[in-house]
Amino acid sequence: MHITQLNHECLLHLFSFLDKNSRKNLAKTCQKLLEVFQDPLLWSLLKFHSPVELKKNNFLLGPALKYLSICWYSERVKVCNIEDWMKNSFQKDFCNRHENTVSDFLLDVCNRCPNLLSQTLSGCGHVTDDCILLLLRSCPKLRTLQLENCVQITDRTLQAVTLHGGSLQTLHVDFCRNVTQAGLERVREKCPSLMLRAERSANMIPDSQPEKKMMLEKVSRKLVQL
């Protein structure tokens, strides 16, 4: 039996075992397999391993999407984690190439994926509190939000969770250095049933503008003198 003789449901099942590139390549062979590729039911789960993958035309984004993961574990993530005022010209140029890639993709998710249940972001150093706020507002069914090593995430995201995360059951903010213990305590107080995890986050050194660091150093010196 030729693969195209299988019915649509069987082909959907077979396609579900393939990665995005393999699905796209098969879809190029004939109209029937293209229709399988374009079936929203095939795209309930999406995993990406770098911002570059978000620009590929090898997946379908739509209301069937329920589980989304963008995890970037490359050594290059360290460049994105450097405070903006400390980056040299090379580092700034590197970041400019993909600075808005994840944010723009999440905007599409907010507009087209209202049934999203789970979102994981790891190593996404340019994702901001505004992105997460919009995600919570646009995806009211969101039950799991996992943020790891996202340096621009602050207590504003935690506040957004208390205001707009009514369906959230699990929240992780691991290694997010600009999240504070006070912000975490407010979440625990206002959302007692939420499973909250913040590995290392509140214990890391938060970002500070150079002038703020100087002020803190002056205060410290005065305290020592006293």
Task: Render pLDDT for 124-166 as a digit per residue (tens, 0 to 9).
Answer: 999 999 999 999 999 999 999 999 999 999 999 999 999 999 9
**pLDDT for position 156:** 96
CA 46 to centroid of chain Cα atoms = 12
CA torsion sign for 127, 51, 201, 145 is positive
**pLDDT for position 222:** 53
147 forms beta bridges with 121, 173
**pLDDT for position 58:** 96
**pLDDT for position 212:** 54
**pLDDT for position 211:** 58
All domains of the chain in start order, with CATH: 1-42 (1.20.1280), 44-224 (3.80.10)
Contact 68, 118 (CB under 8 A): yes
The pair of three-digit structure tokens given for residue 80, joined into one six-digit string? 């994105």
Task: Compute the distance between CA of residue 46 and CA of residue 191 in angstroms, rounded to an integer.
Answer: 29
Backbone torsion region of residue 173, taken as left when φ is above 0, otherwise alpha when ψ lies between -120 and 50, otherwise beta: beta
Q: Which segments in the chain show pLDDT lower than 50?
A: 216, 223-224
pTM of the prediction? Answer: 0.84
**pLDDT for position 210:** 59
At 126, which helix (H) or strand (E)?
Answer: none
Sheet holding 67-71, edge to edge: 45-48, 67-71, 118-122, 144-148, 170-174, 195-197
Distances, alpha carbon 74 to alpha carbons 51, 90, 123, 124, 126, in Å: 11, 17, 8, 11, 15
